[in-house]
Homo-oligomer: A and B are copies of this chain.
Amino acid sequence: MRVLILGGDGYCGWPTALHLSARGHEVAIVDNFLRRQWDHELGCETLTPIRPLHERVEIWRELSGQAIRTFCVDITNYHALADVIVTTRPEAVVHYAEQRAAPYSMIDREHAVFTQVNNVVGTLNLLFALKDLAPDCHLVKLGTMGEYGTPNIDIEEGFLEITHKGRTDVLPFPKQPGSFYHLSKVHDSHNIMFCCRIWGLRSTDLNQGVVYGTMTDEIARHPGLINRFDYDDVFGTVLNRFCVQAAIGVPLTVYGRGGQTRGFLDIRDTVRCVELACLNPPAKGEYRVFNQFTEQFSVGDLAEKVAVAGAHLGVTIEVQHLPNPRVEREEHYYNAVHTRLLDLGLEPHLLSDSLLDSLLNIAIEHRDRVRHDGIFPRVDWRSTHNRQEAKTDAAVPVASGGPPAVHFK
């Protein structure tokens, strides 16, 4: 299958490209390298020393014999995107090419507007390009479980049968997103659903949970293929961040009470889920939603698990509750259905002691690269001015009204 991966240089995009290439699909990557630029803006690099994309694909070609074409294109530029669609004639487009960090979108007005315009316009351009140039192509769009928020009812996969005053309909699941980023994904979902309906496009919206891990079978084949591992307060997902905090011997930072519960998945399942979606396309005109996660945990649960795993490795780990920089419920009901990908054959990699050991070991291996001032929350949901001056390691910036100073061991 010819698959185009938008955002193929990123944390999920790169392992997805390798996974599909390894299975013989004809993979091409589109990326504008903005994610690498944001490392400079935020003053914090990926924990792992990733190579430039052109080196990565060259190493992969030598290892596997599989070529991956790459296009440096910003998909908010319609004509550049359209050229790639015409050139690569994709049967599936996997769309990761969005600003994906909730805290980044909450830095200030400019970052909020950038996030929504970048994400919404990129997706609109893609929808028009598919309609005009590849109307049978399957759009596999990365959404987020965060679109749903934390309702007091079970979360279904995209749609909900509602009976009201004696009448019944199946309607889009009501959305209560928790940041300008999450809002951008809700906007995308509505736009995509509409285009499937009026133009007969086909799309799978993967409402993904929080991803952890960095290693996949393909990435393990060569150190030059190494993937991003973000641990900072802006782009780092919570479990990866906890492992880095454990590795450098600082307390795990739990925001608020830690009862915030979310769906999680191993990055090895991310790539498999996308493959399953591609292999099983929806009908023309169908817009479907898969909830893409494998287990639910609270933030407090995860901190506890990392502390236990650390003890196995002889590391003493402290948990520190910080004032929550986000506006979110800290104790709530959460139960989200996630059966559609299992029905297609997903065999989950559940969070195990050995995975935690492996993650901790990766964090320990690269601990010298950790910037301590990149871990503590600097973006406060209640403030509209969270832009930071770049700091050295000596100073720990904190969010306004945010967490107390942290005692390093």
The chain A residues found within 8 Å of chain B, CB to CB, are: 78, 109, 112-113, 116-117, 120-121, 124-125, 128, 131-132, 151-154, 156, 160, 162-165, 167-169, 171-180, 183, 186-187, 190-191, 193-194, 197-199, 327, 333, 381-382, 384
Contact B124 A120 (CB under 8 A): no
Contact B113 A384 (CB under 8 A): no
Contact B177 A174 (CB under 8 A): no
**With a CB–CB cut-off of 8 A, which chain B residues contact A197?**
327
Contact B172 A384 (CB under 8 A): no
The 14 listed contacts between A and B (C-beta, < 8 Å) are A78-B109, A109-B128, A116-B124, A117-B120, A131-B384, A151-B171, A153-B167, A172-B174, A177-B190, A178-B194, A183-B191, A187-B187, A197-B327, A199-B382
Contact B174 A164 (CB under 8 A): no
- The complex places the Cα of A350 from the Cα of B50 at a distance, in Å, of 67
- The complex places the Cα of A270 from the Cα of B112 at a distance, in Å, of 32
Identical chains in the assembly: 2
- The complex places the Cα of A174 from the Cα of B162 at a distance, in Å, of 10
**With a CB–CB cut-off of 8 A, which chain B residues contact A154?**
164-165, 167
- The complex places the Cα of A191 from the Cα of B180 at a distance, in Å, of 7
A302 → chain B, closest Cβ, in Å? 24
Using CB atoms, name the residue of chain B closest to A109: B128
Contact B113 A124 (CB under 8 A): yes
**With a CB–CB cut-off of 8 A, which chain B residues contact A153?**
162-165, 167-169, 171
Contact A382 B198 (CB under 8 A): yes
Contact B174 A194 (CB under 8 A): no
